[in-house]
Chain A
Amino acid sequence: MSLEFILEGIRRAIHLIITGDPLVMSIALRSIYVSGIATLIASVWSIPIGVSLGMYEFRGISFVRGLFNSLIGIPTVVLGLILYLLLVPRGPFGFLNLIYTPLGISIGQAILITPIVVSFTASAVESVETDVRELAITLGAGRLESTITVLKEGINGIILSIVSGFNRAIAELGIAMMIGGNILVTGSALNTRVLTTSIQMYTVRGEIGVAIALGIILLLIVFSISMILNLFRRDGR
């Protein structure tokens, strides 16, 4: 047993990254695109839900929040299986032709990260809601103005929820594999090979250098996005 094959893999990975290997770069860009779309879709429906849960009280709210919190940990392979059964041609939504497409992966990942975005947004809004709303009202704000003020004060938490959602999406394997199929056809716009499915495939094939290169890129993406957003967001205390 030696670590030589690991070191060789690392050397190859650094070479692929430094030279900007087209295959590696195309997989990375595709991952960012697919998971970016997923995050956008999830944000559109999740943020209003999260804001509502953070701001308002209604009967059953504890149950609803508990449900979203518990769905954060749903295994991606189980969700992937459920979506596969729904989206295959003989499934109830087979007519949508989403199976083995980048959009199919995006929608699947959007569903996966919805509980994260909802829960984190609700917590962010709830943490500022009472104090900020009452302060705004005592200073003369109306209901709409005080709601806008609450959202402004909670914006850092909302941004964090989106970033967390993206990081979960780009790092998941189950949905990308089962809905996407890890397809790569030269020149095709419908390729579905992304970072996670590629890492899995190249590792099993023994192409350790490529697997490590893709792993490093995935880590860099996740860390970089978090750091950049930390720099640009309004500093919260």
Chain B
Amino acid sequence: MKSISLEIEEGELLAFIGHNGSGKTTLLRILATLDTPTSGRYLYRGKEIDELYKLNKRVTLVFQKSTMFNSSVEENVAYGLKMRNFPKLEIEGKVSEALELVKMQDHAEKNAKDLSGGEQQRIALARAFVTDPELLLLDEPTANIDPGNAKIVERAIRKIVEDGNTTVAIATHTLFQARRLSERTAHLYDGEILEEGRTKELFENPRNEKTEKFISGELIF
């Protein structure tokens, strides 16, 4: 990454768009404190974050390629709640709600590794938001799944934002998805933010030439 200066507002859904290798995943990993920036500061609610894993109970990242634990769907989704010492009854209730939101309630007892890629991505999303994170980071959440599963995932993301407790940042190379879901969009190019603003404004009147080309499909890599 070269130089990023960005402020994420509480409760918003911010989309990062950009070509492969533009730095979207790296940025999300820094926000999740899985990586540390080589220079600059990361401020979270005004406090400087300079340690790995410091926010791991407040910020959750859903990876592009979902890894499932070798256990049931229920146990996968309950993992984060167990790490936060939630009581058993409360875990059962929250897991059940989360599975309903992603339409996986009938698969609760199946081994998560037996599911299809799209189903696993839905479980990964449920596993992340069931803990009510303050900041939910999604790295290409619908990149490798069919349109049917993608629709369920997007609906769930919208519901999470509507509930108002979670700020969401989503990295996507699907421009339509950014337009559908986000209030604000930032265009990353070669490790820096070329332009950011209200989504409608950015897509209809991009100020930066490269952003305009990317949105129109001319900037091909």
Contacts and interface: CB of A to CB of B under 8 A. Distances in A.
B63 A135 contact: yes
Contacts of A57: none
B49 to A, nearest CB: 14
B67 A131 contact: yes
Contacts, number: 53
A134 interface: yes
A145 B67 CA distance: 17
Contact of A135 (B53, B57, B59, B67): B67
A140 B32 contact: no
B127 A153 contact: no
B53 A137 contact: yes
A137 B83 CA distance: 10
B70 interface: yes
B121 interface: no
A138 B111 contact: no
A135 B79 CA distance: 10
A235 interface: yes
Contacts of A143: 53
Given A135-B63, A235-B111, A237-B113, A140 B70 contact: no
B67 A137 contact: no
Interface string B21-32: 000000000001
Contacts of B70: 152-153, 234-237
Given A135-B69, A139-B131, A149-B69, 20 more contacts: A132-B67, A132-B69, A134-B63, A135-B67, A136-B79, A136-B83, A137-B53, A137-B56, A138-B60, A138-B61, A139-B56, A139-B79, A139-B83, A139-B127, A139-B128, A140-B83, A141-B79, A141-B83, A145-B83, A235-B111
10 contacts: A132-B69, A135-B67, A139-B60, A140-B131, A142-B83, A143-B53, A152-B70, A153-B70, A234-B70, A236-B70
Please give me the 10 A-B residue pairs with the lowest Cβ-Cβ distance, nearest first: A140-B83, A139-B80, A237-B113, A140-B57, A138-B61, A131-B67, A141-B83, A140-B80, A135-B67, A137-B56
Interface of A: 131-132, 134-143, 145, 149, 152-153, 234-237
